[in-house]
Amino acid sequence: MRRLYFVVPGDINTLTGGYRYDKHIIEGLHQYGWTVELVTLSGDYPFPTDQQRTLAGEILSGLPDKATVIIDGLAYSTLPAQIRPHHQRLKIIALIHHPLALETGLDAQQSAFLKTQETQALQLAHRVITTSASTKASLSEYAVPASQITTIRPGTHAAQLAQGSGTDLINLLCVATLTARKGHSVLLNALSDHQDKHWHLYCVGSTERDPQISAGLFRLRDKLQLQHRVTFTGELDDTHLRRYYQQSDLFVLASYHEGYGMVLDEAIAYGLPIVATNAGAMADTIPTGAALLVTPGNSPALGDALASFMTNTTLRTQLRSQACAARSIRRSWEQASAEYAEFLKNV
């Protein structure tokens, strides 16, 4: 029997890219003869309390000798002391979506602490999986040999071609949890200079993950007088999210960093052109010719790109055409799961 223990901090059904990646891989591995046991860690990751760290260590102690264990990086990178007693008796694989120290909004002390923790933890991994070549390259700063790292990119599901607004109104869609790293404030400021144009922005994503950031974005929207132009929908289930993709004309993402950016693949699955930043893996994720890319944190440049899309019909048609063409080479979750199965055979 091929058994895998998959360790995740918090609820596997959380609607973020990292959790959705984990869930798809767990489900996909079942098709390749793997019994996957989900192990859930409770705690305030990536800053667990001492008691939560101790509990994580006890859970690792309970796993059988020689077990193959994948630990999501949101927890793995914070638990070097708890992993160290087990790294030789278990085959521990670190799954790194992106280094935690690169999260936007951390102060210098928090970032340095996380980098130290991550560096120590990654030295204990039997193998490391990253979700992008960009993240793999970034781990050179954590003293991880490239030979120890395997990149397995996400997949995406097939989707019907988006129909757009059906009017001269341009519907903009941003799917991202309201956190500092996603750059919503940059996006709002970018759009505030183009209120003479006919657009509406829908921001889909949890407003509860970081209430302070969310409250600040609501205030900024009001300050910029965008109350009737910007809608924060909160978190949506797949059925309702599909409706927003279907009625959209453009996908927008202003992140400061992405370890991959699964929502970009999903936008392409709907044939949506993209305006985004070139942060992290995003420039490599988006198909050539399907997007306008700008540097992160640059509201004027982002605003110019959005204005170009709204006012230049030829450009809009070209971007849409390239996005639609890219749908034909969609990477499936079945492919991603098959790569995991092949990888695990050789661990």
What pLDDT, on the 0 to 100 scale, is given for residue 1?
66
Do 95 and 30 lie in one domain? The reply is: yes
Do 175 and 143 lie in one domain? The reply is: no
Model confidence at 119: pLDDT above 90: yes
Does a structural domain hold residue 163?
Answer: no
Q: With cut-offs at 50, 70 and 90, classify the pLDDT of residue 329.
A: confident
What pLDDT, on the 0 to 100 scale, is given for residue 106?
87
Q: With cut-offs at 50, 70 and 90, classify the pLDDT of residue 102.
A: confident
Which tens digits make up the pLDDT trace of 15-27?
889 999 999 999 9
Alpha-carbon distance of 152 to 335, in angstroms, equals 9
Which tens digits make up the pLDDT trace of 217-240?
999 999 999 999 999 999 999 999
**Whole-prediction pTM value?**
0.90
Which tens digits make up the pLDDT trace of 229-283?
999 999 999 999 999 999 999 999 999 999 988 999 999 999 999 999 999 889 8
Average pLDDT, the chain: 95
What pLDDT, on the 0 to 100 scale, is given for residue 268?
96
Does a structural domain hold residue 269?
Answer: yes
What pLDDT, on the 0 to 100 scale, is given for residue 107?
87
Does a structural domain hold residue 164?
Answer: no
Number of domains in the chain: 2
What pLDDT, on the 0 to 100 scale, is given for residue 105?
83
- Host domain of residue 289: 170-329
Do 230 and 258 lie in one domain? The reply is: yes
Does a structural domain hold residue 256?
Answer: yes
Does a structural domain hold residue 165?
Answer: no
Do 181 and 132 lie in one domain? The reply is: no
What pLDDT, on the 0 to 100 scale, is given for residue 328?
85
Selected residue with higher pLDDT from 105 and 173:
173
Do 121 and 65 lie in one domain? The reply is: yes
For residues 317-341, average pLDDT: 94
For residues 137-161, average pLDDT: 94
Do 176 and 320 lie in one domain? The reply is: yes
CATH number of the domain within which 322 lies? 3.40.50.2000
Does a structural domain hold residue 221?
Answer: yes
Does a structural domain hold residue 160?
Answer: no
Calculate what percentage of the chain has a pLDDT beyond 90: 91
Q: With cut-offs at 50, 70 and 90, classify the pLDDT of residue 330.
A: confident
Does a structural domain hold residue 30?
Answer: yes
Do 338 and 315 lie in one domain? The reply is: no
Do 309 and 231 lie in one domain? The reply is: yes
